[in-house]
Structure 1
Amino acid sequence: MKRILHRVNNAGQQAGLLLNAKKTKVMHIPASKESSNVEPDIKIDRTSLENVDNFKYLGSIKTSDGTCTKDINTRIAMAKQGMVSLNNIWKDKSIPKPLKFKLLKTLVWPRMLYGCETWTMRKADELKIETAEMWFFRRLLRVSWKDRRTNGNVLAEMGTGSTLLSLVKERRLKYIGHAERNAKTDLMKTIFGGKTAKRGRGRPSLSYFDQVSKATGLKLQSILQKSQDKVIWRGIVKSSCAAANINPDDAAR
């Protein structure tokens, strides 16, 4: 990191550009628990850069532990905030429920699903997404916890099933197809096949590829090969949608 930053700084100075040390942050992703407490001392022109545990890049939050939990929690909070700001619409009895549902998917769900194509989710994260979806439906229907209505009853009134988590998984598959067919970069192949460090003891963390492989039932080589063909990959995505009992067209919205 020091060597790369030094080269960038020198190239910038030759072009008349300077790196702002106060605005430049360093996030260390440790290879093991033993090195998690080690903070790198990286400097720009003798000015030490601030070490952080997380930072926001292109709207998504990156953390030093390599998980997406903080980003998912932030997205859920933003979606709930948008839901609350539309209370006048949800209270309006003259607006039919199907139209309210379309407004929910158009105005609220994009906040929730931004960047979801790259999420690596744990069981707890998946539960939070499902819980947030039920919160949206109950808010739309003006259902209070005092009404003692089950989730199944709420979904029946909405005329839909629990699909938000499935949409996240489907968008991930579609993103892989687009990334693999991009002839200008082999980034996806590097992410799938690359290894940055030797794994330590204990149960390994759930990887992005593990979730993709589980959703498709395919191994790495098959995913890389089949995703090159748009027609074949589209069929795999549709079959995954059918297995999850969701409409594949919803994943594109």
Structure 2
Amino acid sequence: MIWGKVIGALAGYLFLRIPGAILGALIGHWFDRGMAEDFTRKGGFGQFLFRAGTAAEDATFLYTLFAVMGHLAKAKGRVTERDIAQASALMDRLKLSGDARTEAQSAFREGKHDTFPLQQVVREFKQAFYGNRDVLQLFMEQLMALALNDGVLDKAEHEVLINVGKTLGFTKFQIDQWLMMQKAAFRFNQRQQQQRQGRTQNASRSADDVQDAYEILGVSAHQSDAEIKKAYRKLMAQHHPDKLASKGLPEEVMKQAQERAQDIQAAYETIKQKRGMR
């Protein structure tokens, strides 16, 4: 928090010029520290604040994610038990408990209301992260993964994703391309899981695996090895933990992004084996 120091310095300057500004900034610093300590004691999303210098971005990301998730679930007309279980599973993966979990549930319910101001909330989210496209893209990927959790994308869900994406500054073409990549990742992971459970034949690399691997990277089979490697490196750079940490994202959310990086790595290894790439 810095507003105590800013306001204190300005007020002090008006009365005593430079000496007053210094004194005001000092008093404001004590005020900021007191507010921060009080906020972290409150629990809820406040427990994510003031960690590693991230300010309020952590809480903003989590609130917006669960609120829009609730709106996405209601878009189909009725929130199902599967939708609720999916939200709870995400809270488990993010290790939300106590007040933090209660606030996530509240955000999810808020998003379900017919009067939920979707565009306003998304615009404020964009402003909170200064329009950083890596963060905004990660947010979209999180929503898409949630929408595709059952392997099916409802028309109403698609419209919400397009609406949110455009508000964040992305084109319909970009959003549909990311959806294609997410759908391919869903199919790819489903087959891998079935193979591990012995429910399907564990072939070296099936044609379906290879096709989905290309789609996960957003490339096609007719592209060169160099183009595929370039696409792979770009995607891995976007999902690198160190890079995401510098954007002010919660550690819990970065763990989810790492799962996406694992999908990208697995897809690239599949293509490398198929093509004999080094």
Structure 1 length normalisation: TM-score? 0.28
Higher helix fraction: Structure 1 or Structure 2? 2
Higher strand fraction: Structure 1 or Structure 2? 1
